Every structure is written in C-alpha cells, then in structure tokens.
Structure 1
Amino acid sequence: MRSSIAISELFTSLQGEGLDLGAPSFFIRISGCSIGCKYCDTKYSWKKGKLWDIDSLVKEVLKSKIPEVIVTGGEPVEEKNLSILIKRLSDLETVRKITLETCGHIFRDDLKYPKLKIVLSPKPPTMGVDFPTETLEKFLTTYEQVYIKFAAYDQKDLEVIKEFAYKNKNLIRAPIVIQPLEVPFEDYSYTSKRIFELVISDRKFINDFEIKIIPQIHKLIGLK
C-alpha cells in the first residue's frame, strides 16, 4: 500500500522569509494543524486537504525543475508520513535543499536527512498560544541544520524571545531571525518598521546575538 499525505496546496514561488529569502522554491503545503494560532495567515490549511500518494508528490517536484523544496503547513510535523516524504525528496539528485517549516510545538527525532534544514517558527503571545520552550530546546539539541525564526508584533513578544534566547544561548548556532508578525488590523509595513525600532533600541540584545530583522517579503510585494 502506498503512503499518502493530505495536501492543502502545491505551488511555486520565492522563499519570502528567513535566511533563504528570495530563493525560487517549490512549496508543499501539508494540511492539518491543531495549534490554532489566532492570526494564522493560512487557516484554510487547517482543513484536511486532498490525499496525495508520495510517489505523485515526488513527480510534481521533479516536474517543477526547482532545486529547493519547502515543506510547510498547517503544521507538517503532525503528518505521520512526513519522514517518508523527506527521505524520498532527499534521495532526488535534482533537489538541492529541503526546508521544513514548523512552529516547534511538536517534537520529532525521525527527520535526520542530509538535505533537510529545519526552520523553527514559534508563535509569540500575540498569537494566543503557549510558547513551546521545551520542544524548541529538543529540536536545537537534536538537529544540526536548524535555526529559529521568531515572529513578533510588540514588546511583550520580544521579551519572550529574549528570555528564550538568553536561556539557550549555548544552543543557538545560527543568526536569530526576527520576523514582524502580520496581523489583520495593522498595515504590515508599519508593523515591520515598529519591530525594527523596538529591536534596534536594545543595544545589549543586538550585541549579545547576531540578529537579522527580516519581514515577509512576499507579503510586501504581493506574492503567494
């Protein structure tokens, strides 16, 4: 019996956020999420999507002729067949890099593949969910190719980020990305400017860590 995964959508775009900003990428958006973030920008992906067998997903990746694949959600770590998909993608000669985007609430240790990079995107208090400190620490301890991309809307969010960063300074190996959080009641460019001002005002923080403030560029230029 073939392994299958419920998919919300497949599409081609640029990587609009984080350290790989601007890279042409093929996106696999896995459906389903139990976290329930208040201002999630892909709530449509919470519903169960179309079932795809993994062979067919691999064919779509090959057909795209794009060397970078992003597996996102929803919350892809909740998908039981995720490890099978990652392995199949990692085995493809034409795939250069696989990026897995997760909020870090659910830990898995079965994703150790050579081309995989894990991006942890924990949601701040503004999103109305608990901050997943323990599972983030497990990811950082278990995987080498991993970095954190913190979303932030206000000073309260930044204080949670700083507390985690200082507590786990020995585990953080890559630059810390701070991503302004898009909310429906404020213009995103305004939020981005305000987060920059809040971060840059804390000279100790930006000297103690390598910080990169990176807005979601696809939101600013109108891409998916």
Structure 2
Amino acid sequence: MYGKIHEIYSSISGEGISQGIPTVFVRFAGCSLRCGKTDTKQLWCDTPYALGPNQGESKSFEAIIKEIEGLDKDHGFQILLTGGEPLEGKNREVSTSIAQHIFTYRTREGKPYPAPRVETNGSEKITLDSFFIFTMDYKLPGSGMENRMDLENFQILEKRHNSLDEIKFVVRDRIDFERSIEVIREQKIQTNILYSPVHGEVDAKELVEWIKIDNPPKCRLSLQIHKVLWGNQKGV
C-alpha cells in the first residue's frame, strides 16, 4: 500500500481549535482543486508545491509510520494528515490505514490525541469513522470551487457529533462571508466554525467586524500562527 507523500515533519498546529499543539504533519501530494484562480486573480493555495501528484514521493504505509514514530518517539504529538488532499484517490486508503493504526495503538496504551486530524477540501466524502477527526473546508464563491463541494458531508458531520471536528471558511471578500452565513443557516451547522481571511485580499480586522455582527454559532477567527513565527516556509 503506497501513498504520494510530499513531506513529513514535526512542528506545532498553526490554525483551528488545535492551534499550538505539537504536531507531526503528513503532507500528501495531489489535489484536483485550484482555489482562487481566475482571469485576474492568482491561485491562493498556501501549499501549491503539493498540488500535483507527481510532486510527491511514493511511500509505503510502513515507511510512513516509521517516519512518524521517528519524529514522535513517545507518541505524544497530534498527527495531522494534510495535503494536497489526503482523501483523494489512493491517498484515502493510506490515510485510513495510518489513522486506524495510530488510533488502535494510542487507545490501547492511553496515549494522547488518539485520532489523527485530517484537513480535507470539502470535495471528498468524509466518514463516520471514530479514528478520524476532520477539519473540512467549504469552498466559497471566491474560490471558484463551490460547485465541487459534497453537501452530504454536512449530514455526516452532524451524525459524527464530534466536538473536535471543524468546518473552515476561507473568505476572499464580503460576498464570501455572506455566502458562509447562508450555508450555515441552510445546513443548520452546529460544528465548530473557523474563519480565515485570504491573505492580501481581505483585512483580518475587517473580517472580525463581520463575525461580531452575525456571530455564527461556535465560530472563531483562525489565523495561521506558523506564518507569523516562520513566514511562508515549507516544513514548519
């Protein structure tokens, strides 16, 4: 069993409700979405180097687990599967095996963070499996990818009822924010909600004012603290 892996490294979680937690990142290569790119606007993906499947190295499940354990000998870090897209194509099978393996061991041994977190783009089907925690994007109009969203994922999140799951809205402009409010109401979302501004296109302080007025349930502003600490670097 092999997956396309761009990098595996340890750092801290940079955003969301797990922000600041020591984390081992497993970054898969390959994503079929191209967010934000229009005739006049540039791609806004913060990991464009991992979008193509050929930008990763084919690694076996066993090799991936060995690398994770080499970075986290005491099994105390959060494990985060990201991309690219960890649920796309053959990466899904490898992600599932990694999560099952870690969850089984850590549950048996009483280790922290038993279920790996998966950052997924909203176009791939999530699951009810308890060995996953999900950070799921919903792509708003400014991304140009809203028509690729799998709306059944909202029903799955409701059935999961996991207090650690989260939905992320990346906001390009006021139109995006208003659409997010519509989606929250239409889907009756009760999961944790993250709002992140598109860098250079909407001021985070302005986004805060919009959030304060509408105050969606269980929402928070999410800024990427790894970029504050290290800038736009890989492997941090």
TM-score by structure 1 length?
0.84
Q: Which of 110, 114, 125 in structure 1 is aligned with 2:141?
A: 125
| Mapped pair 1:220 → 2:228 | yes
| Mapped pair 1:86 → 2:99 | yes
In structure 2, the partner of 1:4 is 2
8 Å CA contact retained: 1:180, 1:191: yes
Q: Which of 2, 9, 34 in structure 2 is aligned with 1:36?
A: 34
In structure 1, the partner of 2:60 is 53
In structure 2, the partner of 1:143 is 160
8 Å CA contact retained: 2:138, 2:146: no
Pairwise CA distance, 1:83: 1.5
Structure 1: distance between partners of 2:197 and 2:126:
27
Identity %: 24
- Alignment CA distance shift 1:166-1:176 (3 Å): same
Deviates more, 1:66-75 or 1:142-151: 142-151
For 1:149-195, what per-residue CA distance to the aligned partner results, in whole angstroms no more than 9, with x for missing partners? Answer: 211121111111100111122x41x332212222xxx28xx721221
8 Å CA contact retained: 1:72, 1:101: yes
1:149 maps to amino acid? K
8 Å CA contact retained: 1:124, 1:152: yes
8 Å CA contact retained: 1:7, 1:31: yes
- Alignment CA distance shift 1:211-1:165 (3 Å): same
Deviates more, 1:94-103 or 1:157-166: 94-103
**Structure 2: 5+ residue stretches without partners:** 37-43
8 Å CA contact retained: 1:107, 1:138: no
8 Å CA contact retained: 2:137, 2:167: yes
1:121 maps to amino acid? D
For 1:126-154, what per-residue CA distance to the aligned partner results, in whole angstroms no more than 9, with x for missing partners? Answer: 22212526143243244333221211121
Pairwise CA distance, 1:46: 1.5
8 Å CA contact retained: 1:32, 1:75: yes
In structure 1, the partner of 2:15 is 17
Structure 1: distance between partners of 2:152 and 2:47:
23
1:6 maps to amino acid? K
8 Å CA contact retained: 2:120, 2:137: yes
- Alignment CA distance shift 1:53-1:86 (3 Å): same
- Alignment CA distance shift 1:135-1:105 (3 Å): farther
How many residues are aligned here?
Answer: 209
Q: SS at the partner of 2:84?
A: coil
Structure 1: distance between partners of 2:137 and 2:27:
15
- Alignment CA distance shift 1:135-1:59 (3 Å): same
Pairwise CA distance, 1:87: 1.0
TM-score by structure 2 length?
0.80
In structure 1, the partner of 2:117 is 99
In structure 1, the partner of 2:70 is 63
Deviates more, 1:117-126 or 1:24-33: 117-126
Structure 2: distance between partners of 1:212 and 1:31:
29
8 Å CA contact retained: 1:89, 1:95: no
1:36 maps to amino acid? R
